[in-house]
Amino acid sequence: MITATASKRFHLLAPAGYHIALRVGFAFPLEDVNKLPEQWVQHYMTNRFVLTDPVLRWNYANTGTIRWSEIDSVDDENNVIDQAALFGMRFGAAVSVADGGNSAQRSFGMFSRPDREFTRDELALLFEGVSQLHDQMAPPQNLTCAELEAVRMLRDGLRLKQIAFELEISEGAVKQRLKNAKGKLGATTSVQAASLAENYGLI
């Protein structure tokens, strides 16, 4: 979760607005914070720029930082970056971090200013900030195979009795596994635990 301190830091560095997506897995991020100008968000959605946005494309294909002005204009077929300038976002930066190994999860941010390019030091601060949030939201590593199996079966729509029958254990044992999983995932309900485990790519 983005703290007030982190939010203030990003606002100071990107006074024209920012958008951060944390722990993006197959489709959706675990947390999404959009502080871009409201009119721009409406314009962006109306024109379906998500399909051609060169900044978003860069974030998915790279790790590190880049100024919007350094992104090849050939990749901006709909002039998304030029149109963003009309909404006060004249200068921007993209930041993307990803897990090592086989994990497909990444976190990224788009940051904008109305007055000047981001300095090298500011890019480093933005990368550090997004990296910290990415690490803070890393999936727990201490769930057992038995706990994940119970959570997966719950996600698949099985009831407690069915899970107990399939695993040849008591309903009480199923409840305990789900309780353990909830605690480790920081979830308040078993359904939320299943959703988090899926978003983390654990099941």
- Each residue of 93-147: pLDDT tens digit? 999 999 875 457 899 999 999 999 999 999 999 999 999 999 888 777 788 999 9
pLDDT at site 27: 66
pTM: 0.75
pLDDT at site 2: 81
Residue 199: pLDDT band (50, 70, 90) is confident
Interacting residues of 94 by C-beta distance below 8 A, sequence separation 6+: 55, 58, 59, 65, 66, 68, 71, 108, 109, 110, 111
Q: Any idea which of 17-21, 85-89, 98-102, 156-160 has the lowest mean pLDDT? A: 98-102
Share of the chain above pLDDT 90, in %: 72
- Average model confidence (pLDDT) for the chain? 91
Buried b (16+ CB within 10 A) or exposed e, 15-54: ebbbbbbbbbbeeebbbebebbbeebeeebeeeebeeebb
Most confident of 88-92, 149-153, 177-181: 88-92
- In tens, the pLDDT along 56-83 reads 999 999 999 999 999 988 889 899 999 9
Q: Outline where 76-159 has alpha helix (H).
A: 80-85, 120-136, 145-155
Residue 30: pLDDT band (50, 70, 90) is confident
Helix, strand, coil content of the chain in percent (nearest 5): 50, 15, 35
Tokens of 16: 């024209």
pLDDT of residue 39 exceeding 60: yes
